[in-house]
A and B are shown apart, each in its own frame.
Chain A
Amino acid sequence: MKSIFKKYAKLLLISGSALIFSGSAFAAKTHLTMGMSLEPPHLDPTGGAAAAIDEVVYANVFEGLTRINQNAEVLPALADSWIISSDGLTYTFSLRRGVKFHDGAAFDSSDVVFSLERATTETSTNAQKTLFSAISSVEAQGKNIVVVKLKTPTGNFLFNMGWGDAVIVDSASAGSNKSKPIGTGPFTFKRWVKGDRIELGQNPNYWGKKPALKTATFKIIPDPAASVAALMAGDVDAFANFPAPEMAAQFQSDPSFTVKVGSTEGETILSTNNQQKPFNDIMVRQAIAHALNKQEIIDGAMFGFGTPIGTHFAPHHAAYVDLTGTYPHDPGKAKQLLAEAGYPNGFKATLKLPPPSYARRGGEIIAAQLRKVGIELEIIPVQWAQWLDQVFKNKDFDLTIVSHTEPMDIGIYTRPKYYFQYRNVGFNAVIESLNVTSDTKRRYALMGAAQAILAKDAVNGFLFQLAKLGIWNKNVNGLWENSPVQANDLTGVSWNN
């Protein structure tokens, strides 16, 4: 009864203001409004690491040689085919013909050469230079062929070229991509009202199949409560990563919404400063691991969404080894280990927490869990800016909670200066072998070995894999359920009616 009244009132309002609204009510079928929690700092995916950038432009505005789909498969994009030499050192890409950038400039091999070289120069602001580090040369052979030579065979190379940081840009417009992104994708950039929304329109000259959507708006809503209200009121049609898991049940029972729980590449960890006393002692780290109750953290902070992990690897991957039992929840054992390590009465430390609720809520729960074994944590909430400065850059922290969302990033544990400062030559050797191995079976074995080392060393508190909680209007199809790369690929999205 109430919903009928609501619908009637809404209908009255819409028809009453039809003159003013002129068409926006009818645009619903080819327009999508997607909500997002973090605003991108700019719109050039090759000039920054913020996931939010890719969440707007990946596959929509920009394209690379290859593209990753929601099943983590590598698909051709601007390169319609390729040949890999038997020694794995030469990749010959055959480029698509007749492709135009949004400003009308023609796409050809010179753009590929420009883009790849630009990413590797001294002054490049590309955040993922390691994706290109294996490249020794890039050469155009005519307008439609590009030959890339690698220094060492790299199993992931085609996947790497599918990352947002490897999209192809035009030399003429590259400099202004931050504010006016010009790509080759099916959507063009229309407008960015800073702090509010980003509007995309249709690319009439797109080389491929035109998407069902003609326009899209990314609405920036940082506040979880506002996100709930916006979705409920219909101001927003979809949230690919809904920030309030406590409302999932409410939306699940509402017939006008679809709720899809998928996976992300986000390993949520209690990062521990391995070079800081007392965390440099493995017994202390083991004690912390025993004190943690992963399921309680998932239930309390994520309302049950998330999978416990025992190491820095995503459970949905084929090469995953379940190491959650390495240090099971055992507060008694934790106290014992602490006493053996020389802390019979526990100790005090700080826990710096960035803004996301997995960190803030998770942090409160972890503080309570560690308090039970004698470790007193002082919670220090920080903004991302401070987190990056204090924790990430200056390594000025004891413990922190963060989710590492880049795919296959176990390699960060080889970097001695990476903020948690883990140093293990044995581990580095395993990863080095992995980088030069292309045989799948061997690779899986090596990945398993790497995971086991990290779990045994209790490098960080491995908590859970972040779930992707997607909630959208029942009539929307085609949105990704899983997030193998950071993206909101709208090319396959359509409305039912």
Chain B
Amino acid sequence: MQHLIRACVVGVMSKSRIHEIWQQSWQHRSFVIGIILSFIMLLTGVVSLFWTPYSVELLDIPHKLQGASTAHWLGTDHFGRDVFSMLMVGAWNSMLVSVFAIGFGAGIGVPLGALAAGKRGWVEETVMRFNDFAFAFPALLTAVMLSAVYGPGTINSILAIGIFNIPVFARITRGSALSIYKREYILAARTSGKGEVRIAMDHILPNIASVLIVQGTIQFALGILAEAGLSYLGLGTQPPMPSWGKMLSESQTMMFFAPQLAILPGLAIVLTVLGLNLLGDGLRDILDPRLRRLS
């Protein structure tokens, strides 16, 4: 773990680069907006672990479907639960699922991709075939099937979204790693007897770290959308844990007299995903000058 972090940091920046990046970051509009939005969402989620205006397990049916007030900043839902609190915990839920899904996907995908790039031959072929197959199954389809077999829930959403992350990380790892493996010093490292895993850690990872970080941010955003879709269909996180998607599906029959219940969770999703996408774009521009040309 330590080694991993060190590799990422080393790959991403050297002393002079740090200053350059720092300057460029704050001049880059996307990055600024992105990081602010993302930070707000992250903060909300983390704070919800320690404090929310009301407990989300507190049902107060006599006070259901109220509008915004000093007691309830964003009103209450059909069970009398405080909407603001629900949104906060929903943020934590979305983050949790997405982060674990990325961890799962990258944890398997990156080694697979590196393996494919390093070994080539039939190993590469198998991995690429597996990739093709995995891409044929959108996350939603996998999740629907998984939940039919094992029941709905947070863990299954993580698995379903994570499974879709594997081919994405495998593909970009392989793509980026291919050119690195061809370089002279890899050959040198191999002949000097360095193990494959060490080569990967010391040479490949640092060089693809920026690509992975950018992709990770994008996958984070996609994960939030996927989690919302699954929860909307009822296949994701179950009550009493709130989730933005579930809040949206529950709000549909109440749009006519409580439209805020349909608008607020959707807005939360949009702002979060937007923030992360902007952050990802910004990071891409800043960290990888090669890719910067494209924007």
A residues contacting B by CB (< 8 A) are: 224-225, 228, 244, 246-247, 249-250, 296, 299-300, 361, 364-365, 367-368, 371, 379-383, 386
Per a CB cutoff under 8 Å, which of A224, A365, A379 touches B253?
Answer: A224
Question: Are A364 and B79 in contact, CB atoms less than 8 angstroms apart?
Answer: yes
Q: Does chain A have a CB within 8 A of B67?
A: no
CB neighbours (8 Å) of B249 from chain A are 225
Chain A's nearest CB lies how many Å from the CB of B14? 51
Contact A365 B59 (CB under 8 A): yes
Task: Report how far A381 CA is from B64 CA in the complex, Å.
Answer: 23
Contact A365 B61 (CB under 8 A): yes
Whether the Cβ atoms of A247 and B57 lie closer than 8 Å is: no
Taking a contact as CB atoms under 8 Å apart, the answer to whether A225 and B79 are in contact is no
A368 to B59, CA, bound (A): 7
Give B227-284 interface residues, CB cut-off 8 Å to A.
234, 238-240, 249, 252-257
Known A244-B253, A250-B256, A300-B59; judge A381-B78 contact (CB<8 A).
no
Contact of B253 with A247 in the complex, beta carbons under 8 Å? yes
The answer to whether A247 touches B79, judged by C-beta atoms less than 8 angstroms apart, is: no
Tell me whether B151 is interfacial, beta carbon within 8 Å.
yes
Q: B115 → chain A, closest Cβ, in Å?
A: 39
CA A207 to CA B191, docked complex, whole Å: 96
A225-B255, A368-B58 are known; give 5 further A-B pairs, CB within 8 A: A247-B256, A365-B59, A365-B61, A368-B59, A371-B57
With A246-B78, A250-B257 given, is the CB distance from A379 to B238 under 8 Å?
yes
Asked if B61 and A299 make an inter-chain contact with CB atoms under 8 angstroms apart, the answer reads: yes
Contact residue among B61, B64, B151 (Cβ-Cβ distance under 8 Å from A382): B151
B152 at the interface (CB under 8 A from A): yes
Chain B proximity of A12: nearest CB distance (Å): 26
CA distance A299 to B79 in the complex (A): 9
With A299-B61, A300-B64, A368-B57 already in contact, the answer to whether A379 and B256 are too (CB < 8 A) is no
The residue in chain A whose Cβ has the minimal distance to the Cβ of B250 is: A361
Can you list 18 A-B contacts with CB-CB less than 8 angstroms, sorted by A residue number?
A224-B253, A225-B253, A228-B253, A228-B256, A244-B253, A247-B254, A247-B256, A300-B59, A300-B61, A300-B64, A364-B79, A365-B79, A367-B239, A368-B240, A379-B240, A381-B152, A381-B234, A381-B238
Residues on B with C-beta less than 8 A from A249 are: 257
Contacts of A244 in B (CB 8 A): 253
Whether A379 contacts B239 by the Cβ 8 Å rule is: yes
A354 CB, min distance to chain B CBs, angstroms = 12
Please name all residues of chain A whose beta carbon is closer than 8 Å to the beta carbon of B64 when the two chains form the complex. 300
CB closest residue in chain A, given B65: A246
Bound form: Cα–Cα A361–B240 in Å: 11
CA gap between A75 and B176 in the complex, in Å: 79
Kindly provide the distance from the CB of A364 to the nearest chain B CB, expressed in whole angstroms: 5
Q: Which residues does chain B contribute within 8 Å of A228, judged by CB atoms?
A: 252-253, 256
Residues of the A chain whose Cβ atoms lie less than 8 Å from the Cβ of B59? 300, 364-365, 368
Query: With the chains together, A300 CA to B77 CA distance in Å?
Result: 11
Closest 9 CB pairs of A and B: A225-B252, A244-B253, A300-B61, A368-B59, A224-B253, A225-B253, A364-B239, A299-B61, A250-B256
Per the 8 Å Cβ criterion, residues 198-232 of B in contact with A are: none
Q: Once bound together, how far apart are the Cα atoms of A224 and B79, in whole Å?
A: 18
Cα A300 to Cα B64 in complex, Å, equals: 8
Quote the shortest CB–CB distance from A457 to chain B (angstroms).
29
Residues of A within 8 A of B255 (CB): 225
A367 touching B253 in the complex, CB below 8 Å, given contacts A300-B78, A380-B151? no
Complex Cα spacing A198 to B78, Å? 34
Q: How far is the CA of A224 from the CA of B253 in the complex (A)?
A: 7
What residues of chain B lie closer than 8 Å to A368, measured between beta carbons?
Answer: 57-59, 240
Q: Report the nearest A residue to B254, measured CB to CB.
A: A246
Which residue in chain B gives the minimum CB-CB distance to A293?
Answer: B61
Closest to B258 in A: A246
Residue of B nearest to A295 (CB): B61
Contact assessment for B79 and A300 in the assembled complex, using a CB-CB cutoff below 8 Å? yes
A364 adjacent to B240 (CB under 8 Å):
yes
For residue B238, give the distance in angstroms from its CB to the closest CB of chain A. 6
Q: Are A367 and B240 in contact (CB under 8 A)?
A: yes
A11–B182 Cα distance when bound, in Å, is: 71
A295 shortest CB reach to chain B, Å = 9
Closest Cβ–Cβ distance, residue A254 to chain B (whole Å): 10
B230 to chain A, nearest CB (A): 13
Closest beta carbon of chain B to A207's beta carbon, Å: 43
Cα A250 to Cα B256 in complex, Å, equals 8
B152 / chain A contacts, CB cutoff of 8 Å: 381
Q: Which chain A residues border B78 with CB–CB below 8 Å? A: 246, 300, 361
A243 vs B152: C-alpha distance when bound (angstroms): 23
A residues in contact with B57, CB < 8 Å: 368, 371
Question: Which residues of A are found within 8 Å of B257, using beta-carbon distances?
Answer: 249-250
Chain A, residue nearest B153 (CB): A380
Assembly CA distance A125 to B255 (angstroms): 44
Chain B residues with CB under 8 A of A224: 252-253
A246 cross-chain contacts in B, Cβ below 8 A: 78, 253-254
Residue of B57, B152, B256 with highest tally of chain A CB at under 10 A: B256
| Minimal Cβ-Cβ distance residue in A for B151 | A380
User: Smallest CB-CB separation from B80: which chain A residue?
Assistant: A300
- Complex CA gap A246/B151 in Å reads 28
Task: Give the docked Cα–Cα distance between A247 and B256 (Å).
Answer: 8
Inter-chain CA distance A225–B262, complex, in Å, is 12
Smallest beta-carbon distance B80→chain A, Å: 8
* Bound form: Cα–Cα A382–B55 in Å: 26
CB of B166, distance to nearest CB on chain A (Å): 28
| Complex Cα spacing A381 to B235, Å | 9
Q: How far is the CB of B278 from chain A (nearest CB, A)?
A: 32
- State A244–B239 Cα separation when bound (angstroms): 20
State A244–B250 Cα separation when bound (angstroms).
11
The interface residues of chain A lying within 8 Å CB-to-CB of B61 are: 296, 299-300, 365
Q: How far is the CA of A380 from the CA of B151 in the complex (A)?
A: 8
> In the assembled complex, which residues on chain A have CB atoms less than 8 Å from the CB atom of B252?
224-225, 228
Centre residue among A300, A367, A371 by max chain B CB count within 10 A: A300
